[in-house]
Amino acid sequence: MAAAPDPTALPRPCAIADALEVIGERWSLLIVREQFWGNRRFSDIQRATGAPRDILTARLKRLVEEGILEKRAYSERPPRSEYRLTAKGRALAPILMSIQEWAYANLEDADACTARFPHGDHDADPVSHFTCRTCGEELSAGRPA
């Protein structure tokens, strides 16, 4: 079992902070969202997210470097590429669903949002359930274990 983190260590070592270095920026998560909705080409991602070209270019490059996306050529003349989620990128689905669940429960205007994840013949209405990997006990939403 890992030792408890030192509460006096600053900045506090934390897996959440490490993850946020990779995916904790608005445009990065919106790019990943677009991948789940089938938008794989630069112009489609830009149109759907509203990201400025320079920022989108930088975020796509970083997501490829981090192994979340892979870049694939789909045309030689002219040279064109698209982006695809890797297994590491697909593993972000529960995070996006949790953010969506939180938004529906806590933001006034969230129900007006028409951009929802598809699920069969309807839109997804996610409900998160987390369990402790060690003991299997369900973790409560109010207080982390």
pLDDT beyond 90 at 125: no
Write out the DSSP string of 98-112: HHHHHHHHH-TTGGG
Averaged pLDDT for residues 85-109? 90
Please state, in angstroms and rounded to a whole number, the distance separating the CA atoms of residues 90 and 130: 18
* Domains in the chain, CATH or no CATH each: 15-91 (1.10.10.10), 92-145 (no CATH)
**pLDDT the model gives residue 141:** 62
pLDDT mean across residues, the chain: 87
* Model confidence pLDDT, tens digit, residues 10-55: 777 888 889 999 999 999 999 999 999 899 999 999 999 999 999 9
Query: What is the average pLDDT across 89-112?
Result: 86
User: Residue 45: its pLDDT value, please?
Assistant: 97
